[in-house]
Structure 1
Amino acid sequence: MLNPLSSKLPDIGGTIFAEMSALAQECQAINLGQGFPDYSPPDALIQAVVEAMAQGHNQYAPMAGLLQLRQAIASKVETQHGHAYSAESEITVTAGATEALMSSLLALVHPTDEVVLIDPAYDLYAPSISLAGGKAVRVPMRPPEKDDPSFRVDWNRVEAAITKNTRMLVLNFPHNPTGLILKTEDLDALEVLIRKHPVLLLSDEAYEHIVFDGQIHLSPVSRPLLAEHTVLVSSFGKTFHATGWKTGYCCAPHHVMREIRKVHQFTVFSVSTPMQAGISRYLRESDAVSGLPGFYQKKRDRLIAGLKNTPLRPLHAEGTFFLLVDASALDFKLEKELAIRLTHEIGVASIPVSAFYPDPGSSSANHHLLRLCFAKKDATLDEALERLEGLKAWLPG
């Protein structure tokens, strides 16, 4: 008889995103929780993929990805950030940003290594670090305050968390869930940190093209010193409203990418060929990303305007397709309790921000905040807002 199975992730269950999406379906609620659009990718992109299938692009792609797509990525990154990557040796097409992140962590983190995470942190990071044998070291942002209702990164506190065992610092900007973007002073602080502590930077930039109010996305790879230490990860699924296609990429210096590819080749080997061919053509033939900030800013602003008729107070979102709302006017203890009740009784699903902390039930993880996804049709947002007006009946007194 086999010995009882010993879990490699004993403290991990299903993700909060799957849990709230299942609850939304059960309650027939509008799902503003999980981050996926309820509209289709661009027609020209779909047509490019269909034609790629018809033209015979249906067998394995090269392990690192179709060369023409890697070349298109290299051109895009150089135009956007001024850093030149070799399409042959420094770019790999992955099964979404998720696989890029997992393969990078498995390849680069060793047992006893420490990896610094900035909380609230996307829930993929810590389990991936554990599977690699490393240890996650959590550094919380300063949470919103009455006089400054935004999260803030304390780079001095981040630096203080770095030890002789630190292998990597994980960055996620534009930030999920807070919507923060990096500013010039943040890159300055990172350069100071890297000069003193030459650790690796894993930069999750899945929402790189969704930045608002005339600002631009500043990637660490826009600074030569930081680029030498950075693995850049991004997602075509997020960019082109095609999350189910699971197509992303990572870029890194060749000696780092060589190690990532060793894991990638035994994880998925290669990524869907017609998707790669179609995306490659679409990038070459269209101005594929310039309209995204305006497109999503209209949705952000629509949601903010509608929330004025509810007890939920929106925080400022600089990027991503998420908006945090302060629900402190309502009477509740834990964010997850509110999110569940909201789904059952109001018919709108959200994500409690406490889920992005190591102990979601702790007071330090609960700041009366919920995350709403506005990557939805206008009609979907309007219906959700109409339902959320029902929260006025929940106000004390």
Structure 2
Amino acid sequence: MPHDIAQSPHPDSPRLSHCPETLPRAAWIAPEWFAREMETIFAREWVMVGRLADLPAGTMRGTRVGAAPVLLARAPDGSLSAFHNSCRHRGSELCREGEERSLGKLITCPYHAWAFAAKDGRLVSTAHAVPTADFRKDDHALKPVATRIWNGFIFLNLASSPGPLTADMPLETYDNWPMASLVTGHRWISDLDCNWKAFWENYSECLHCPGIHPELCEMVPVYRQGIMGENEAQDWTPDQPTGPNLKAGAESWTPSGAPCGPSFPGLTPEERARGYTFVTLWPSTYIVAHVDYVRAVRLEPVSPTRTRLVAEWYFSPETLAQPGFDAATIAAFAKLVMEQDGAASEMNQRGIASPAFTRGTLMPEEYEIHRFHQWVLAAMAASKGVPA
């Protein structure tokens, strides 16, 4: 039964002990706020842009980190580099966003054919242009972007001195999964009419689950209570026994609840019993690992009121090689949940646009949204980017 007045939570409970305000309305709709997020958060945090295995050696691809066009370059020997996608001659893009082109030792600008070394971005040739004696090639290298590979995922950072890659869980959380060897079996892209933070906020609470996600609540019974885990219950104490996350008989998020292929052999009994293991890496991605496959979802902010969602499902080669295996069938359940989440986020965005809305109020169960809001403000303030 819902409670009107909350009792004090146990000290180990994640529940909030008060009902704080949300960010102001401008955070979801104002172009100025969005621009500063791109200049601060997305220009200084690690952003996931895909899988290394999906960028073959000898290939370059145009991508984006926040507001910045970026060029990924994987040389024929397999080494990975990234550069701002802007020629040092007159600024032309080197590879269109989303486009993949073959790559040898050189990155050649399609406009005036200036050529840069694929590995380090140094200027090799100005093609038909003949510079004067005051021109120094060393001053015209491509501007680099920092790269990091974690569990087979490519992360980029625009900062000149990037900090460490961090997540809400230890980076070793997936050590027992064969993450780097998994193969992309399915990809789904959805364009949402909402601010990027609106989707993260929806992801960070389950008060909406009973009304928005009937299928998910059947798969994960605790969600029927409007909480993400047993420790969020109002009367929770640490001595209470912990039950399985999934419904009786289910081992994974599949149509039948049974693994869709061979279970990963290195998992502990606790990891198998959980049924799913989430890792969140703000501002761009979350990953969900099951006993038989892994899903990653990344958010790409497009405008103050537009966000692109890219979801991918990864399987072992043995699973994909099964006769008649259909990755789209396995993906259908999570896709349904994300469609529901997207619709809820768009509904929330439309209401935020009302001039009557100034700020919201968080409930104790929305502790993760509060933490996210504090992280956003801190990341912007660190770069003196919080709007007035």
Rg (Cα) greater in structure: 2
Return the structure number with greater helix share.
Answer: 1
Name the TM-score, length of structure 2 as normaliser. Answer: 0.32
Return the structure number with greater strand share.
Answer: 2
Name the TM-score, length of structure 1 as normaliser. Answer: 0.32
